[in-house]
Amino acid sequence: MTGRDGTGLDGNEMVLNMGPQHPSTHGVLRIVLKLDGERVKSTDCIIGYLHRGVEKIAENRTYTQFAPYVDRMDYLAAVSNGLGYCLAVEKLLNAVATPRAQAVRVILTELNRIASHLLWLGTHALDIGAITPLFYTLREREAVLKIFENYCGARLTTHAFRIGGLQYELYEGFEQEVEAFCGQFLPKVDEYEELLSGNRIWRERLRGVGIIDAETCKRYGVTGPVLRAAGVGWDLRKAQPYSGYEQYEFAVPVRTGGDTLDRYFVRLDEMRESVRIIRQAVANIPAGPIMAKVPKVIKPAVGEAYVSIEAPKGELGYFIVSDGSTQPYRLRVRPPSFVNLQALDHMAKGALVADVVAIIGTIDIVLGEVDR
Amino acid sequence: MATVPWEGPIPDLLRERLGALVLETCTYLEQPFAVLTLSAMVPALTVLRDELGFDYLVDITAVDYPKRTPRFELGYVAYSYGRNERVRLKAGVGLGESPQSAVPLFLGANWLEREVLDMFGIEFAGHPDPRRILMPEEWSGYPLRKDYGILAMDNGWVQANLGIESGQ
């Protein structure tokens, strides 16, 4: 193991430290790469730079007080985080959101999925050297953020939902605005495809890079678009529907190559499917109250529950233990980014240094969620 | 906790394979879970994976109950793509006890177990890389233990660095 100079490396090996301040690591991820020339021999992810002790904070806040904190984990998909948390607490309370609230939740969550994928696409392309798509994707994302802003006043950390339903009634013209966005957004996805899918540099740069097969995905517990690009058509919205997803018709995009290019296609198709869901939901939002009958002071009975949803990045789970008081006794977040990032080592082994950038991008991590 | 007995092929097979090491099989809010003795955890995961098709280890976590013996409750969540079912396994872990690592069964257990070590100080026997993961390496204490108070920590830092009471 030890080389002549006592570094543990043989003559051709070199250690390269990437991050934590590196634009392509999408935050504060540090990776220690062991290289043989240009080839990656192994990676060691060093995380925790953004650790804020979210799970500890939860134990010291009431259920209601903690709700805004979850938005700060995956801050690119704050709505999904909020949905998962609300569903978990509602499960413990044995409460179900009203049909109207459920439909609005679906619309906002899917809009958020589009926003998250758009930011991913723009920055992923930027990492690889295509600068233009970022401007287009951020333009469309802006339209989604405007809808969030009109609905709840916040653009990023929305805190849009409450335990039992929604905080706000829809504003006047919400349906038209969402429908208008859907109408103008679909052609834009084709535009991204025109810019990238047929682009020879883009294809050459992504094809066969960071391959992970279905079996390995399962062994690592990888979920989300990475799993679906490896040929497993598994999506929690279909497998274990929540919040009324069973009412909507949509497909789960699947590819079989398991490489970076296929993950790109899966995410593009997911945006199209999200539009399909949003259109169905917005066309008939049920009338009625936006809040189910939940007590003013949230005090779930003693017990525990694990509830998970399909966040844009994969399975997002909340495990809550209640001791019958107003504060969670223990709250565990199962973040998709954290678990998916583990597979980086497998995907990057044998790749070129330049491909590591593409692989980090294609896993689509948010360090706020990895570190919590 | 108003639990209902959990019946079906999964708890039956677990009992058949592990006998008295399975202490309880229940469901709460339609979510099934089994309580095991600690030494039966990895064998149970093996049965789940190899005989029942639970090929996805979703999560590993722990809960601290300072007044109980054993003090911690270690929890595993497993999912089967084929059955579309999710189960939880739980076992008590005493202070200083080392559960067996599940990494040979599920590669994904690696970081999850490191996080449990980091936050609760539970060491896994046979873990390939037992380091802290989220907290800095030189950190002392285990943040998610109940006796690790956030106010005491705040006071400690403010006193050491600013020389005043924190006022929190």
Which residues of B sit within 8 Å Cβ distance of A?
A: 1-2, 28-29, 31, 55-59, 61, 63-64, 75, 77, 81, 84, 86, 88, 106-108, 110-112, 119, 132-136, 143-144, 148, 150
Q: Where are the domains of chain A?
A: 59-371
pLDDT-based confidence at residue A2 (cuts at 50, 70, 90): very low
At A66-110, the pLDDT tens digits run 999 999 888 888 999 999 999 999 999 989 999 999 999 999 999
Listed in sequence order, the DSSP H helices in A129-247 are 132-152, 174-196, 200-206, 214-220, 225-228, 236-239
Query: What is the C-alpha radius of gyration for chain A, rounded to an integer number of angstroms?
Result: 21
Contact A305 B29 (CB under 8 A): yes
Residue A80 · residue A112 · CB < 8 Å: yes
Query: Could you report the per-residue pLDDT of B72-118, keeping only the tens digit for each?
Result: 999 999 999 988 999 999 999 998 889 999 999 999 999 999 999 99
Q: What would the mean pLDDT of B10-30 be, rounded to a whole number?
A: 87
Which residues in B lie closer than 8 A to residue A53 (C-beta atoms)?
Answer: 143, 150
Residue B102 vs residues A180, B110, B145: alpha-carbon distances, Å = 50, 8, 22
**Mean local confidence (pLDDT), B23-51:** 90
Instruction: Answer whether A301 sits within 8 Å of B84, measured CB to CB.
Output: no
Of A205, A144, A134, A136, the residue nearest A362 (C-alpha)? A205
| Record: contact B57-A302, CB cut-off 8 A | no
What is the least distance, in Å, from the CA of A47 to any CA of chain B?
A: 6
May I ask the CATH class of domain A59-371?
mainly alpha
Number of Cβ pairs closer than 8 Å across A and B? Answer: 90
- Please judge whether A56 and B77 are an interchain contact, meaning their C-beta atoms are less than 8 angstroms apart: no
User: How close, in Å, is residue B162 to chain A by CA atoms?
Assistant: 21
Give the pLDDT of residue B3. 84
What three-state secondary structure class fits B88? strand
Q: What tens digit of pLDDT does each residue of A225-277 get?
A: 999 999 999 999 999 999 989 999 999 999 998 899 999 999 999 999 999 99
What is the band of A189 on the pLDDT scale with cuts at 50, 70, 90?
very high
* pLDDT at residue A3, as a whole number: 46
Interface of chain A toward chain B, CB-CB under 8 angstroms: 47-48, 51, 53, 55-57, 60, 91-92, 94, 216, 218-222, 232, 234, 239-240, 301-306, 308, 315, 317, 319, 321, 329-330, 332, 334, 338-339, 342, 371-372
At B64, the pLDDT band (50, 70, 90 cuts) reads very high
What type of residue sits at position A82? Answer: G
pTM of the model: 0.89
Query: Model confidence over A33-43: pLDDT tens digits?
Result: 888 888 898 89
Query: In this predicted model, what pLDDT tens digit does every residue of A106-157 receive, in sequence order?
Result: 999 999 999 999 999 999 998 888 888 899 999 999 999 999 999 988 888 8
Query: Which of B26, B33, B56 best probes binding to A when mutated, by most A CB atoms within 10 angstroms?
Result: B56
Amino acid present at A125:
A
